[in-house]
Amino acid sequence: MKLLQALKEAVSSISGNRTRSFLTILGIVIGVGAVISLMAIGQGAQQTITGQIESIGTNVIYLMEGNMSEDVTNPRDLTLLDVKALENRNRAPNIEAVSPVLNANIAVKYGRESENTSVVGSNTAYQKIMNLEIAEGAFFSDSEVNSNASVAVIGPELAQRLLGRTTNVVGTSLRINGQPFRVVGVTVAKGGSQFNNPDLNVYLPITSMQMRVQRGNSAGRVQFIIVQARSSESMDAAIAETNTIMRTSHRLSPRQANDFTISKQDDFLSIASAITNVFTIFLSGIAAISLLVGGIGIMNIMLVSVSERTQEIGLRKALGARKADIKLQFLTESAMLSLLGGVLGIGLGWLLSSAFGIIAEQTGTPLVPIIGIGSVLLATLFSAAIGIFFGLYPASRAANLEPVEALRHE
């Protein structure tokens, strides 16, 4: 039997039982659509996360207290004295800027409105390192940091939620931890998720954060320190200088391990990419189970088809059809069912991805699903392979029917 003839008969058989054929391929349609949409969402999430990390720059170093890779007892706190030591250009010529960070989730109030959000205490270098642009007013100054000024810079989304506007905000008084702070600037919208949205942040001078918001932090302790190298090329030199200065500042002997951890931006990019890849593969694997269920449905319907067409098979074999011809006929039909489900599944996957993108946009989540040609080809080819695999047994059963017994079948 020629392949063209097998295709014509498969089309005739499928079109003759449209309702049954549609219900048969429904599992494949849902499976392919789920795989494509979940992979698109996963790739979109990966691009969003890595994009936000990369927007900070590739020449950023994070300095955190403690050392998870070494058994260090009683590690010293990171303090403003460490920041001052790192700012010494004679000892660290490859370091461009240093910014201490204190972070807390606190209720910020304006009149009767209140919003629990992230309050960040830092210095003026934080604006440059984190690429914060100002839409209105200005970032707080060095003199305001040195004088413990009660000033704040807020994100535009927080301004909208508290004041109902994002303009004419400078000069407004907010209460943070019961203390009044005057707004001196509003940042440009950057976008983010509910869990990490700089547009909802409040930025305070670190001295004001320590004195008025976290009053128990009088020793100058900070949670972590951000160090910016002069360039991507000077990263290794900046890391070496940071390590040397911190060991000296913490009075560590040559035999003692670091009681601090230095991480590069690339480390966070690698971790974020690995997490999103695992997440995408996991979700796609779950979605692929429906493809297997759809394949079982195809095998079931093909067995029913063999039973219904037993006399037809017997007549074909009596007229000279070979086992290979019968097997090709049923394999072609099962593969066509699966491939048709894959094509419809591509459309479903596109619709689901588009719907998720619209929902994300309306909720302010910066996530755009990305449908890659690789995921489309993978899902389609996998669905066709499932059709062939689960069609083998029904095709072999049909091919092995004895002509005489098949002709007697009622």
Instruction: Tell me the pLDDT tens digit for each residue of 289-305.
Output: 766 777 777 777 767 66
Q: What is the pLDDT of residues 183-228, one digit of tens each?
A: 999 999 887 655 567 889 999 999 999 888 876 655 678 899 999 8
Regarding whether 281 and 235 lie in a shared domain, the answer is no
Per-residue pLDDT at 234 = 83
Shared-domain flag, residues 176 and 120: yes
Query: Which pLDDT does position 58 carry in this prediction?
Result: 65
pLDDT, position 52: 62
| Other C-beta atoms lying within 10 Å of the C-beta of residue 372 | 12
In a domain, 259, yes or no: no
**Polymer length of the chain:** 410
Rounded Cα gap, residues 194 and 364, in angstroms? 9
Q: Are residues 218 and 283 in the same domain?
A: no
In a domain, 157, yes or no: yes
Q: Are residues 205 and 292 in the same domain?
A: no
CA distances from 199 to 22, 102, 127, 402 (A): 48, 18, 14, 74
Residue 406 scores a pLDDT above 50 = no
239 and 316 inside one domain: no
Mean pLDDT check: name the lowest of 36-40, 144-148, 315-319: 315-319
Q: Give the residue numbers spanning the domain of 127.
A: 77-249
Q: How far apart are CA 286 and CA 268, in angstroms?
A: 27
| Confidence check: pLDDT of 257 > 70 | yes
How confident is the model at residue 193, as a pLDDT?
54
**60 in a structural domain:** no
Nearest CA among 410, 408, 222, 217 for reference residue 308: 410
Query: Is residue 237 situated within a structural domain?
Result: yes
Q: Are residue 228 and residue 181 in the same domain, yes or no?
A: yes
- Tell me which of 249, 283, 300 is where a domain ends: 249
On whether residue 255 sits in a domain, the answer given is: no
224 with 128, same domain: the answer is yes
Cβ atoms of residues 210 and 121 within 8 Å: yes
Q: Positive or negative, the Cα torsion across 318, 319, 322, 325?
A: negative
Please check whether residues 245 and 121 belong to one and the same domain. Answer: yes
Residue 98 has pLDDT above 50, yes or no: yes
Closest listed residue to residue 213, CA positions, set 103, 316, 302: 103
Domain count, the chain: 2
Q: Which of 218, 249, 280 is the last residue of a domain?
A: 249
Residues 222 and 366 in one domain: no
- Is residue 61 very low, low, confident or very high in pLDDT (cuts 50, 70, 90)? confident
User: What percent of the chain has a predicted confidence (pLDDT) above 90?
Assistant: 22
Overall average pLDDT of the 38-62 stretch? 72
Confidence class of residue 267 from pLDDT cuts 50, 70 and 90? low
Q: State the average pLDDT over residues 4-28.
A: 71
Whether residue 54 has pLDDT greater than 60: no
Tell me, yes or no, whether 196 and 296 share the same domain: no
Quick one: average pLDDT of 262-268? 73
Please check whether residues 280 and 317 belong to one and the same domain: yes
Lowest mean pLDDT, pick from 85-99, 161-175, 188-202, 350-364: 188-202
pLDDT reported for residue 395: 66
Rounded CA-CA distance 165/151 in Å is 19
Band of pLDDT at residue 48, cut at 50, 70 and 90: confident
For the ranges 58-62, 100-104, 178-182, 204-208, the lowest mean pLDDT is seen at 58-62
Cα torsion at 16, 20, 24, 30 (round to 10°)?
100
Task: Tell me whether residue 362 is in a domain.
Answer: yes
Between 317 and 118, the more confident residue is 118
Tokens 């008084």 label which residue?
A: 173
Contacts 24+ apart (CB under 8 A), 142-145: 144/184, 144/205, 145/205, 145/206, 145/207
**Residue 233 placed within a domain:** yes
Task: Report the C-alpha gap between 392 and 302 in whole angstroms.
Answer: 10
The model's confidence at residue 358, banded by pLDDT at 50, 70 and 90, is confident
H or E segment to which residue 345 belongs:
helix 323-362
Same domain, 81 and 217: yes
- Where would I find the H helices in 309-322? 310-318
